[in-house]
């Protein structure tokens, strides 16, 4: 079963040694909103396509991987 967006966000953010605040700022969302998405309390559809692209860019992963559409995270 593919991992969900929140898990992939948190896992990648930790691997990159970035804080929620750093990633949220780069994506243009609040740290609280990012935290809620990572914990699965808010569906990823609450994020705009532009925000999803910013998150993927900030974390250095492909949007397809972040959204669970492919297993290889490389851009």
> 10-21: per-residue pLDDT in tens?
999 999 999 999
Using an 8 Å Cβ cutoff, are 58 and 32 in contact?
Answer: no
Measured between alpha carbons, how far is 7 from 4 in angstroms, rounded to an integer? 5
In the structure encoding, which two tokens stand for residue 58, read together? Answer: 């900030």
pTM: 0.85
Q: Model confidence over 38-72: pLDDT tens digits? A: 998 987 778 899 999 999 999 999 998 888 877 66
Domain ranges of the chain: 5-66
Q: With CA atoms as reference, report the closest residue to 50 among 28, 73, 71.
A: 28
Q: Which CATH superfamily is domain 5-66 in?
A: lambda repressor-like DNA-binding domains (1.10.260.40)
């Amino acid at each position: 079963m593919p991992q969900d967006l929140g898990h992939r966000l948190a896992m990648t953010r930790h691997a990159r040694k970035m804080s929620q605040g750093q990633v949220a700022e780069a994506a243009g969302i609040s740290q609280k909103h990012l935290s809620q998405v990572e914990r699965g309390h808010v569906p990823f559809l609450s994020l705009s396509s532009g925000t999803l692209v910013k998150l993927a860019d900030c974390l250095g992963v492909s949007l397809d991987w972040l959204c669970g559409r492919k297993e290889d995270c490389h851009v």
